[in-house]
Structure 1
Amino acid sequence: MEIVLPKVLSGEFKKTTKTLEIAGLEKKLMSFVNSRFYGEDIAEYAIHIICVHPKYDSFFKVNRPTYVINKDVIVEGIPVTIYKRFDVKIKLDFEEFYKSNEEEGFRIIGTAILFTLKNIVYPKTIKDFNKEAFYKDIHAFFCEKEN
């Protein structure tokens, strides 16, 4: 299974290293999860990180998670097949994340991801996915990062 962290950050973050920090976290998380198996139903797990200035907040809603079993789409003129992809969104507090250093930023992201994973309701179409093992591994990853 692959895990990705697509991000939506408002323009203020161009003056920071947050984009690079999230990319680094994604790479570490990917290599951590890559060797593990949680079942056949999810091939790609996308956790969208949203952190925008409060004036743009209303444009970026956190909706219910989505699951796509198999769908062909066009991305920038290139045909792409989305296969067994689960998408969930988390929203970070703008002020807190913007002012954080790298370590605090990881803690903020980790706390938001763990809270979301603990409370998530998976669609009934996902039958073969060990959500408890996935949560425990992600929890271990972020606890390890803190030490």
Structure 2
Amino acid sequence: MRWHPLIPALASLAFLAVPALAERPPQKREAAAVVVVGTVEKIQSADKPFGGDGTMTTYTAEIKVEKVEKGDKVKAGETIKITWFHVTKRPTQPIVGAFGQAHDVKEKGKIRVWLMPPPRGTEAYPVIYNKDGVEKADK
């Protein structure tokens, strides 16, 4: 029996296509430019379509900073905006791309958050892309 030359080529394409559906790799906490502890004063959310029939929700929270653990751009006593996104309704068709993170952030809650610098032209600090980018702070 003789192998058709197209079979190995198709098999390798199928193997290479699997990583294309993978989630974005997480950022490490150590990569954060800013780490703060503070109280959530306000949370806003905005929905937009994602992948046809899915929904991506972008969250923006105002944090009253109590303590700065890393970084020199933020000072204790300031109020900063942070942002993150999460696909809150998955599309029915497979889609390549990041689905975001669900963080348990509530108004009046005290949190520790690992942040990246705000993108040029914006004021909100993005939470690192990691399920552990936000945690409840006890002290």
TM-score normalised by structure 2 residue count: 0.25
> Which has more strand, going by share of residues?
2
**TM-score of the superposed pair, with normalisation by structure 1:** 0.24
- Greater Rg over alpha carbons, structure: 2
More helix by share: 1
